[in-house]
């Protein structure tokens, strides 16, 4: 009898790298609970908390952040990269991994290099429309390259982004009544879902608070994830807010939030765009205005397909919500049309597709 498969997964630093990595791990385990999974990370990233919380053991390698300017760290980069790669190779060989899948971030480059040197096949998955340096390097070293956005990496296959099962299998219409009851919403009228990540987004919060009265007066309910950073301000606003405004610090059941909503007002991280499109939820995307601009590129394809609109963060305010978002919420035909467009662009079974590629890569090992 063949032994169970042994898979390494590298994705650390930010939630955008970790969440799809863990969603892949869940899909692999769902198919074969006997599969051994090693998750690579560093002591600096969110994976220190997120990986154990999902039931996986985190294996640490030295962090190798890439300097963005000439400084002392740049000159020590070769040594640090060599040490991290050596440690990653020790883990790959001692665990006798059959295959590795990386999702970018600075934990991935040493793992890619270690896999290549140990002749272990590896898969690169890029969630963003604009890939980072780790995946640009890794994609040159393997023929197994998956992407969420067509054209982000050369010789890549668009497989979508691995999603949690509660999202990938969500039927918004069937769960609508249950979802609205869960959040204390009425069954009638449209619902605007506003969120900006676990810490919240100040620009989204301010625009929602400033427009809440007029939005609710129009018959719209607002489900608003304020985020931890502005929790106190959210509680203060709740004291004087309309009855149809429903704030939460954080939404733990995003599947039900998507089911309850008719439209989202949100950031445009890769996971957010992938989830919102997959479940067919129209959205007004507010790209985070820092970094390399990847969030605007993330939202652009689904918007081009007719599934949403992009609003610049600097331009988001009460008037924009009332002039651009509210009219759409009040137009059922527009909501239906945009939802179908979003769902047509989105990919629900990204986890299953990527698992197939990982299996194929593992079977290719000499």
How large is the average pLDDT for residues 47-54? 92
C-alpha 334/C-alpha 337 separation (Å) is 5
- pLDDT of residue 148 exceeding 80, the answer is yes
pTM of this prediction?
0.93
Structure tokens given for 170: 């969500």
Average confidence score pLDDT of the chain: 93
Long-range pairs, 80-84, Cβ under 8 A, ≥24: 81/109, 81/110, 81/113, 84/110
CB contact at 8 A, 342 and 280 = yes
The four Cα atoms 267, 355, 66, 59 give a dihedral, to 10 degrees, of 110
Confidence at 1, pLDDT banded by 50, 70, 90: very low
Q: Tell whether the model's pLDDT for residue 22 goes beyond 60.
A: yes
Q: Are 83 and 73 in contact (CB under 8 A)?
A: no
How many angstroms separate the CA atoms of 93 and 91, rounded? 6
Fold match between 6-163+349-363 and 170-345?
A: yes
Tokens 């879902």 locate to 193
pLDDT higher than threshold 80 for residue 197: no
Task: Give the pLDDT score at 75.
Answer: 56
* Cα–Cα dist 240/222, whole Å: 15
Can you give the residue ranges of every domain in the chain? 6-163+349-363, 170-345
In this model, does residue 212 exceed pLDDT 60?
yes
Q: Which of 348, 351, 357, 166 is nearest to 254 (CA)?
A: 166
SS3 242: coil
Q: Check whether 3 has a pLDDT greater than 70.
A: no
Query: If pLDDT is split at 50, 70 and 90, which confidence band does 80 have?
Result: confident
What would the two tokens of residue 81 be?
Answer: 């990269």
Tokens representing residue 101 in the block: 């899948």
**Once rounded to an integer, what is the mean pLDDT over residues 328-354?**
98
Question: Lowest-confidence range among 29-38, 98-107, 287-296?
Answer: 287-296
| Mean pLDDT, residues 123-145 | 95
Which pLDDT score is estimated for 111?
97
Architecture of the CATH domain 6-163+349-363: 3-Layer(aba) Sandwich (3.40)
Q: How far apart are CA 97 and CA 143, in angstroms?
A: 18
Class of the CATH domain delimited by 170-345: alpha beta
- pLDDT beyond 50 at 254: yes
Strand partners, 102: 10, 124
| pLDDT value at residue 307 | 98
Helix (H) or strand (E) segment spanning residue 343: helix 332-345
């Amino acid at each position: 009898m063949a032994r169970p498969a042994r898979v390494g997964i590298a994705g650390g630093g930010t939630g955008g790298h970790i969440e799809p990595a863990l969603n892949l791990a869940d899909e692999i385990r769902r198919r074969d609970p006997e599969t051994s999974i090693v998750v690579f990370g560093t002591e600096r990233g969110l994976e220190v908390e997120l990986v154990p919380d999902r039931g996986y053991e985190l294996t640490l390698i030295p962090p190798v952040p890439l300097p963005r300017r000439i400084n002392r760290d740049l000159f020590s980069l070769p040594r640090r990269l060599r040490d991290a790669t050596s440690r990653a190779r020790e883990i790959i060989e001692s665990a006798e991994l059959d295959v590795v899948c990386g999702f970018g971030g600075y934990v991935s480059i040493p793992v890619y290099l270690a896999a290549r040197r140990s002749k272990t096949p590896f898969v690169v998955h890029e969630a963003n429309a604009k890939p980072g340096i780790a995946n640009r390097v890794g994609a040159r070293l393997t023929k197994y390259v998956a992407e969420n956005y067509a054209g982000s990496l050369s010789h890549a296959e668009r497989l979508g982004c691995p999603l949690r099962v509660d999202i990938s299998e969500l039927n918004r219409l069937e769960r609508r009544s249950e979802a609205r009851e869960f959040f204390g919403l009425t069954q009638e009228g449209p619902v605007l879902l506003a969120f900006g990540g676990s810490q919240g987004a100040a620009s989204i919060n301010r625009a929602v608070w400033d427009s809440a009265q007029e939005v609710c007066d129009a018959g719209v309910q607002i489900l608003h994830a304020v985020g931890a950073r502005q929790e106190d301000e959210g509680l203060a606003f709740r004291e004087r807010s309309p009855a149809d405004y429903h704030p939460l610090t954080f939404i733990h059941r995003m599947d039900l939030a998507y089911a309850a909503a008719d439209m989202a007002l949100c950031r445009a991280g890769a996971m957010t765009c992938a989830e919102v499109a997959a479940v067919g939820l129209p959205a007004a995307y507010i790209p985070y205005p820092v970094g390399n601009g990847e969030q605007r590129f993330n939202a652009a394809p689904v918007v081009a397909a007719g599934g949403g609109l992009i609003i610049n963060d600097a331009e988001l305010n009460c008037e924009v919500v009332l002039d651009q978002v509210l009219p759409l919420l009040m137009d059922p035909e527009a909501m239906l049309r945009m939802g179908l467009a979003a769902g047509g662009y989105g990919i629900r079974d990204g986890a299953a597709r990527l698992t197939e590629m990982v299996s194929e890569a593992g079977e290719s090992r000499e």
